Amino acid sequence: MQPKRGSTLKGIVTLLLMAANVVFWVPILMVVAVGKLVVPLRGWRALVSRWLTWIAEAWIRCNGAIFRLMGVLRLQIEGLAGLAPREWYLVVSNHRSWVDILVLQETFNGRIPFLKFFLKRQLIWVPFLGLAWWALDFPFMKRHSPAHLAKHPEARGQDLAATRKACERFALIPTSVMNFVEGTRYTPAKHDAMRSPYRNLLPPRAGGVAFVLSAMGQMLHSVLDVTIAYRERSPSLWDLCCGRLDTVRLHVQKRPIERWATEGDYSDDPEFRARFQHWLAGLWADKDRRLEAMAVNS
């Protein structure tokens, strides 16, 4: 195995610049967010949401400038034609690394509405970033284990309720709802433990996608099916900052949202649930083949 390129000094400088970027923008976000909190009028909240989005996009642009200055992130992207910043999108992607989020932000910032992710509730305690995600109306989800749900069946609908509440806020301004459909980052150990039928992916979790389409189906314009391919198996943020990543390849496919996918009841209709899972499994099989081709041609 060849030694990794890059340098520790470059990693330290890149991280310090990114940290300074966070420290600069988060207090501004919080001041504006207070104005949104204390005046609960819909028109005012929509206006302040636009201000908050502009601040967040400026933050991402600064990160992009840092990456270019330090020469640490190189992207090769296919499929960006026809995207618009004034439409609503559901963005689905495979998930290999925390670097995925920075890659997606750099790819789509200014091309489509600001990306909003469903986050684990524990992440609200991440210094600075947790406050920023809260101010930007990122939905925080509390995942329940099957054992917990067996003891507390009343908790079964909480994620759906949280999804619907978040989607109501997304209606204020154009938004891109981001979903890592595998639910967790890919690792060979997870792949084996889940007995995944795919070579390069974990099995997709259909519930989150179905709930978003149910709650926002009349608002969303398209699904953006994103495939991210690294030459490295699972690069870390430190690898990125040190400049150890080869060119990251992305494929974006704009897919129409079929009406049937927005009108069913995933929780209580077994026939619809089976159809939806079959549709998503087909999309994931296409993605698996695409990853194979991207690896061959890299």
Closest Cα to residue 139, out of 168, 182, 111?
168
- Residue 3 lies inside a defined structural domain of this protein: no
The enclosing domain of 255 has a CATH number of 3.40.1130
pTM for the model stands at: 0.87
- Residue 139 lies inside a defined structural domain of this protein: yes
Which one has a higher pLDDT value, 243 or 233? 243
Each residue's pLDDT tens digit, 145-168 = 556 556 666 666 666 666 677 777
pLDDT band at 132 (very low <50, low <70, confident <90, very high): confident
- Count of structural domains within the chain: 1
* Strand spans (E) along the chain: 75-78, 89-93, 115-117, 119-120, 140-141, 176-180, 222-229, 248-255
CA distance 284 to 61: 31
- Mean pLDDT across the stretch 81-86? 93
- Residue 159 lies inside a defined structural domain of this protein: yes
Each residue's pLDDT tens digit, 3-25 = 456 799 999 999 999 999 999 99
Residue 43 belongs to domain spanning:
8-297
- Residue 2 lies inside a defined structural domain of this protein: no
- Residue 75 lies inside a defined structural domain of this protein: yes
* β 248-255/75-78 pair status: parallel
- Residue 1 lies inside a defined structural domain of this protein: no
pLDDT greater than 80 at residue 169: no
Q: At 44, which amino acid appears?
A: W
CA distance 141 to 155: 12
Looking at residue 221, what DSSP letter applies?
-
pLDDT greater than 50 at residue 1: no
pLDDT greater than 90 at residue 39: no
Yes or no: say if 208 and 117 are a contact pair by the CB < 8 Å rule: no
pLDDT greater than 50 at residue 2: no
∠ CA 155-156-162, nearest 5°, is 80
What SS3 class is residue 77? strand
Yes or no: say if 59 and 17 are a contact pair by the CB < 8 Å rule: no
Each residue's pLDDT tens digit, 89-113 = 999 999 999 999 999 999 999 999 9
- Residue 181 lies inside a defined structural domain of this protein: yes
Each residue's pLDDT tens digit, 110-129 = 999 999 887 777 777 888 77
- Residue 140 lies inside a defined structural domain of this protein: yes
CA distance 107 to 77: 8
CA distance 269 to 259: 16
* β 222-229/248-255 pair status: antiparallel
Cα four-point dihedral sign 273, 280, 282, 292: negative
**Can you give the pLDDT at residue 158?**
65
